Chains A and B, each alone.
Chain A
Amino acid sequence: MSLKRVELIDISKSYDKQSNVISNINVTIEPGEFFVLVGPSGCGKSTMLRMIAGLEDITGGTLKIGDTEVNDLPPSKRDLSMVFQNYALYPHLTVEENIQFGLHVKKIDKKERAKRTSEVAAMLGLTEYLKRKPRELSGGQRQRVALARAIVNEAPICLMDEPLSNLDAKLRAHMRSEIRQIQRRLGITMIYVTHDQIEAMTMGDRIMILHEGSIQQIGKPIDIYNNPANPFVATFIGSPPMNLASGVGDNLTSTIRLNDSILIPVPTVDAHFLTERVIVGIRPEHIKAATKETEEKDKFVVEVSNVEILGNETIFTFLLNEESWQVKWSGQWQIEIGDKIPLMMNYESFCFFNSETKEIMKTPSDVENHVFGKEVFV
């Protein structure tokens, strides 16, 4: 199996030859990489995957797999495998026949077929179900069969279109790590489509966030979390999403005003952020409880409108300029709806976005990034 990179150069897609549903996609997916396409429904992520697979025509740009341009190659010549959202198992064939289907078509000899099937079945724990029909399997087992069918081909590139969305939450979490492990073990290039930002964050080596057919940001999950390129990414990645509000910069007092009680003091080195309008963002976990030591000017009091206690963390909501903001603290906090809570926010934790271009101007410098020593001392 030779590893191949997938290169998208100026890819665009149009159904009516007038407006593009996808435009200006430029990205190179490295060999052996787990690459996640993520975005809200209708953002064009599935269309993009289907263009890579060859199931949709590419109306503009070049798609390269390895060093060859594959725009006009049929799906079977692109040397890839694909897992579909509804699994697309052949209902009239047994699990074994389903797994072997592609090998059969490629006229691989019987011995090799049986060998590969039993290997893959063992890897995915399907050995005892080989003689069953798909309808006799549970959702999770069908999912495994679909996975087995994709990897048995030993194609260097595997495409997945929301493969976990039909599973329950517990099984989904389990399959996330299983798919990740299989991908690492086989070293295949994985292109994975999902609308679930948790899947994107936990599985991807790199993720690409799409919105309305254009790239919002590409990067490592943690970099995207820490340095979102624009307010869309900031609210899409992370749960609960980043809190956003529009602020007014004031050069005289060197502050950004969110409302009557919240003024953010801006250091003189950052004076260029003091524009008339600026979008201010802060992650829910960066809003702290004010303590006795907190200076009065940094403190602000909010009224709690909703509380969720999740066992190991507590999320509560308050209203700021009619936007609901959320705060996430670890541990269990006895907070009731209607309570007035004094809070504080560090200047280092804020994101500022340009209100015109929506581009990020200031990234948070204090992200509570802890480095754990590589060496362990006993």
Chain B
Amino acid sequence: MRLWKKLVLYFLLIITSLILFFPIIYAFMISFMTGGEILSGKLLPSTFSLDNYVKVFERLPLFNYLINSFVVSLGVMLGQLVVCSLAAYAFVFIPFKGRDFIFFLFISTMMIPWEATMIPNFFTIQKLDWINTYQGMTLPFFALAFGTFLLRQHFKTIPKELHEASQIAGLSKFGFFFRVVLPVSKTSLVTLGAYGFLTTWNMYLWPLLVTTNNSVRTVQIGLKQLQSQEVATEWGVVMAGVIVVIIPTLLLLFLGQKQLQKGLTQGALK
């Protein structure tokens, strides 16, 4: 009976995961097909040729785009971690007048859609002459209300006795932040880091707005370029590009997952 139950469960899981994963599998298959094969609606390529991959790298400075994407995503990730953790620390461990009010004001900015702030942000970046620069692409995303909220919630679970113990030990405010709060909140930091990296990696509109040439463009714009370059889009090449772009994301997910699980199983105090 138990075996039967297990079988059904696994069968359902496999089916649903296949459905969920189908677009990526199909893209992966298309990336090996020739134009004719794609149009005839085949599911599997006749031969696994790497022609499309070669073409992608020939047609676009994809390698440069990848590096740009990495720099921008890492930059935003680190920036968010620094800004959000410092802000969250202030909201949790430094008592000041109107702290809760400021925090709720801060949180309420989550309700403003990002697109609404895009135009003023663009003008700021333009006036600073930061078009086509890394700082223009990263800086507007450093202060993240969601990230601050996430870290604040975690910091609040740190027992106040830890703070007091470190005060008695003679640790400075920053020392406590750096040597106790951050290591204890590793789980949340990893979560926020992965979130920041992935959202930035997948960002399309902002990089498109603040870049006018290929110098700092990211992969997502590259993919769009592949589609519109010619009259008839060569889907095989586009999908080869997509697969290349997905790989770092997947890698990060796998690595991050391991870290996350490790963090989650780590026991709390007492």
Q: Which residues on A are within 8 Å of B, measured CB to CB? A: 50, 53-55, 74-77, 80-82, 84-92, 101-102, 105-106, 134-135, 142, 166
Contacts and interface: CB of A to CB of B under 8 A. Distances in A.
Interface string B163-176: 01111111100010
A22 to B, nearest CB: 19
A86 B183 contact: no
Contacts of A80: 168
Top 9 A-B pairs ranked by shortest CB distance? Answer: A76-B170, A88-B161, A135-B267, A102-B169, A92-B183, A88-B165, A84-B161, A75-B168, A75-B167
Interface in B248-270: 266-270
Q: Which of A77, A106, A135, A166 has the most CB of B within 10 A?
A: A135
17 contacts: A53-B168, A54-B168, A76-B168, A77-B170, A80-B168, A82-B164, A84-B161, A87-B270, A89-B269, A91-B184, A101-B166, A102-B168, A102-B169, A105-B175, A106-B169, A106-B170, A135-B268
B162 A55 contact: no
Contacts of B170: 75-77, 102, 105-106
Q: Which of A50, A105, A166 has the most CB of B within 10 A?
A: A105
A84 B169 contact: no
B contact patch SS: helix
Contacts of A54: 167-168
B180 A90 contact: yes
B184 A81 contact: no
A86 B167 contact: no
B159 interface: yes
A74 B169 CA distance: 11
Contacts of B171: 76, 105
Given A105-B175, A134-B269, A88 B162 contact: yes
A155 to B, nearest CB: 9
A101 B162 contact: no
Nearest to B183: A92
Contacts of B168: 53-55, 75-76, 80-82, 102
B266 A135 contact: yes
A102 B159 CA distance: 18
B184 A92 contact: yes
A76 B167 contact: yes
A262 B25 CA distance: 95
Interface of B: 159, 161-162, 164-171, 175, 180, 183-184, 186, 266-270
A55 B184 CA distance: 22
Contacts of A90: 162, 180, 184
Contact of A105 (B169, B183, B267): B169
B169 A86 contact: no
A74 B176 CA distance: 15
B180 A74 contact: no
B160 to A, nearest CB: 9
A101 B167 CA distance: 12
Contacts of A101: 166, 169
Q: Which of A88, A101, A142 has the most CB of B within 10 A?
A: A88
Contacts of A53: 164, 168
Contacts of A86: 159, 161, 269-270
A91 B167 contact: no
A100 B213 CA distance: 55
A27 B180 CA distance: 36
A87 B270 CA distance: 8
Contacts of B162: 88, 90
Given A74-B167, A88-B162, 14 more contacts: A55-B164, A55-B168, A76-B167, A80-B168, A82-B164, A86-B269, A88-B165, A90-B180, A92-B184, A102-B170, A105-B166, A105-B169, A105-B170, A106-B169
A56 B180 CA distance: 21
Q: Which of B162, B168, B171 has the most CB of A within 10 A?
A: B168
Contacts of A106: 169-170
Contacts of A87: 161, 269-270
Contact of A82 (B165, B186, B266, B268): B165
A17 to B, nearest CB: 16
B164 to A, nearest CB: 5
Contacts of A142: 270
A250 B159 CA distance: 59
Nearest to A76: B170
Q: Which of B161, B169, B170 has the most CB of A within 10 A?
A: B169
B174 to A, nearest CB: 12
Contacts of A88: 159, 161-162, 164-165, 269
B41 to A, nearest CB: 55
Contacts of A74: 167
A375 to B, nearest CB: 47
Contact of A55 (B167, B175, B183): B167
B182 to A, nearest CB: 9
A163 to B, nearest CB: 12
Contacts of A81: 168
B165 to A, nearest CB: 4
Q: Which of A81, A86, A91 has the most CB of B within 10 A?
A: A91
Contacts of A84: 161, 164-165
A200 B164 CA distance: 25
Nearest to A78: B168
A83 B152 CA distance: 27
A91 B165 contact: no
A333 to B, nearest CB: 43
A133 to B, nearest CB: 8
